Amino acid sequence: MACTATLDVSPPVHRWMDTALQRDAFKKTIPILAAKVSASKTGSLLKSDIMKKSLMNLPKVRSVLRDPHDDLERLVLLNVSEDDALSPEVRNFLQEQSATLVVHNLELTYDYWTADEILHSILPEELCKGSPSGFAITGHLAHMNLNKEYLPYKHIIGQIKNPMIKTVVNKLDSIDTKYRFFKMELLAGEPNYVVEHHESNCRFTFDFTHVYWNSRLHTEHDRLVQLFRPTDVIADVFAGVGPFAIPAAKKGCAVLANDLNPESARYLSQNIVDNKVTSLVRASCEDGRDFIKKVIGRARDHPFPTYTGPKLSKMQEKERRKLQLAESRPIAALGLVDLPTVENQSPRHTISHFVMNLPDSAIDFLDAFRGILSESEWDFGNYANMPMIHCHCFTRELHPDRAEADIIQRVESKLGHKLETEVTLHMVRSVAPNKDMYCISFRLPRDVAFAQ
């Protein structure tokens, strides 16, 4: 018969705290049993099936300690406070191992408990369910979106954070309607809003108070970039500070990246330099509709260099030069570059994908695609395959079938044309109880692109 854990490791309750978090108040001493054995026998206790359910198994707590009074002895911590909670089988086994039961005081402090556990010991009981312990972390900054019932406790909530987080803010209702960044208030830490955030092996720097960024979209950023081939040219209509553009360029894609917000465009330009993709990303700052109408001509008139294969590591580059000097052999012969992936041996001047990551209004910009390829016969011959459009949007329809019908109807209405082939919908995330974010991907209809 296995023993049952009876230890109460919950934090002490301090519902009197309301504005200032007092970490020193979170201390708890729990007397527990420990099996005192010679160091050579600790392995026998830890590996025994009989002892498996009797051993201490708490996060952040070591189950074996040195005996403070004898360097040759060890204390194997158990998950009970009294010896009568141990089964007869466990007692007999410990006796066979010449183990002595002693009392050990387990000391728990603030850092032991999770943010959620600390909150539950501070907030009124009626607010504990669904307590806002989650942070969206961007660089050294964490931001929250507190419901009104938690606002009286916002400052103490902000203080319950990871030591690596230097700044905690709360999102306010007011949103800049033109540039889409939200207003915020400082809850805890330093008023330092310029962050350095790492994602997809890229480094992004930006002022969180003046640009839009959502760390929860990391998976969506990766998903779309995985759809691109290294030889592709991407037009990123609402590029922000580059969460699609920079990783795509790191992959080898050529990118025309645009954002209306001057601060976003400024940090986008900085991130292009910082990530060493200056030859592959061209930044602009203009209205998305104007960008869509002009970008085809820009790619045509100023093509990107040919894709020459994956970038070599420093070690591969060194080896390449060494072998070339020694044997005068071409790179392909060295096996360092996967030349079969180099499909396009001419300058890149046709756009393969449009990314439209502005879910609140991107669909409204789709009418700008009408006639974008009607200017010259060159366009007709070089766009045998129409670009793919990846358009993010919101819907109030929660059932997948109704959400699909709603989104497709709105897209077709703006395009003025039916979507007939290569149409997929991807559910990105729920953003509110009655609001979901989707990405609809479709091949731009040829009749739309060449409309007069």
Q: Is 260 annotated as a binding residue?
A: yes
- Reply yes or no on whether the pLDDT at 1 is more than 50: no
Gap between the Cα atoms of 215 and 25, Å rounded: 33
- What are 429's strand-pairing partners? 437
Torsion from C-alpha of 290, 293, 297, 303, nearest 10 degrees = 70
CB-side neighbour CA atoms (13 Å) of 130: 7
Q: What average pLDDT score do residues 428-445 get?
A: 94
What mean pLDDT comes out for the span 11-18?
Answer: 89
Q: Which residue has the higher pLDDT, 227 or 432?
A: 227
Residue 336: what pLDDT? 46
Average pLDDT in the 192-197 region? 94
Whole-model pTM: value is 0.77
**How does strand 254-258 pair with strand 281-284?**
parallel
For the cut 70, the answer to whether the pLDDT of residue 360 exceeds it is: yes
Helix (H, G, I), strand (E, B) or coil at 275: coil
Number of neighbouring beta carbons within 10 Å of residue 303: 15
Q: Cα 252 vs. chain centroid, distance in angstroms?
A: 22
313 or 334: whose pLDDT is higher?
Answer: 313
- What average pLDDT does this structure show over 360-377? 90
Summarised one tens digit per residue, pLDDT across range 35-58 is: 999 999 999 999 999 998 899 888
Q: Is 288 marked as a binding-site residue?
A: yes
Q: Is the pLDDT of residue 67 over 80?
A: yes
Q: What is the pLDDT of residue 3?
A: 42
Q: Which domains does the chain have, with CATH numbers?
A: 28-108 (3.30.70), 130-207 (3.30.300.110), 215-449 (3.40.50.150)
Least confident stretch, 10-19, 224-233, 352-361: 10-19
CB neighbourhood size of 175 (10 A): 14
Whole-number Å distance between alpha carbons of 318 and 330: 14
Torsion of CA 196, 198, 202, 208, to 10 degrees: -40
Was 357 annotated as part of a binding site?
yes
For the ranges 77-81, 143-147, 403-407, the maximum mean pLDDT occurs at: 403-407
How many angstroms separate the CA atoms of 36 and 84, rounded? 17
Say which residues have a Cβ less than 8 Å from residue 397's Cβ, sequence separation at least 6: 403, 405, 406, 436
Instruction: Tell me what pLDDT residue 71 has.
Output: 86
Residue 447 has pLDDT above 60, yes or no: yes
Where residue 344 falls among pLDDT bands split at 50, 70, 90? very low
Question: Which residues are registered as beta bridge partners of 38?
Answer: 73
Is residue 438 within 8 A of residue 408, CB to CB? The reply is no
What does the pLDDT look like over 200-243, one tens digit per residue? 999 999 999 999 998 889 999 999 999 999 999 999 999 999 99
Per the rule left: phi > 0, alpha: psi between -120 and 50, beta: everything else, 41 is alpha
Instruction: Give me the amino acid identity at 350.
Output: T
Task: Indicate whether 329 pLDDT > 70.
Answer: no
Helix runs in 260-399, H state only: 262-274, 288-301, 314-327, 331-334, 377-382
3-state secondary structure at position 148: helix
Collapsing DSSP to helix, strand or coil, 401 comes out as: helix
Residue percentage of the chain with pLDDT more than 90: 60
**Range with lowest mean pLDDT among 174-188, 227-241, 428-442:** 174-188
Q: Residue 343 pLDDT > 60, yes or no?
A: no
- 322/204: higher pLDDT: 204
Minimal CA–CA distance to 424: which of 438, 413, 410, 409?
A: 438
pLDDT(321) > 80: no
Residue given tokens 């553009």 in the structure block: 245
Query: What mean pLDDT, rounded, does the chain reach?
Result: 88
Tens of pLDDT, residue by residue over 242-258, are 999 999 999 999 999 99
DSSP 304: B
pLDDT for res 338: 43
Whether residue 341 is predicted with pLDDT greater than 70 in this model: the reply is no
| Least confident span in 189-193, 227-231, 400-404, 425-429 | 189-193
How would you write 169-184 as a 3-class SS string?
A: EEEEEEECCCCCCEEE
Distances (CA, A) of 18 to 14, 148, 212: 9, 15, 32
**Res. 133 pLDDT band, cuts 50 70 90:** low
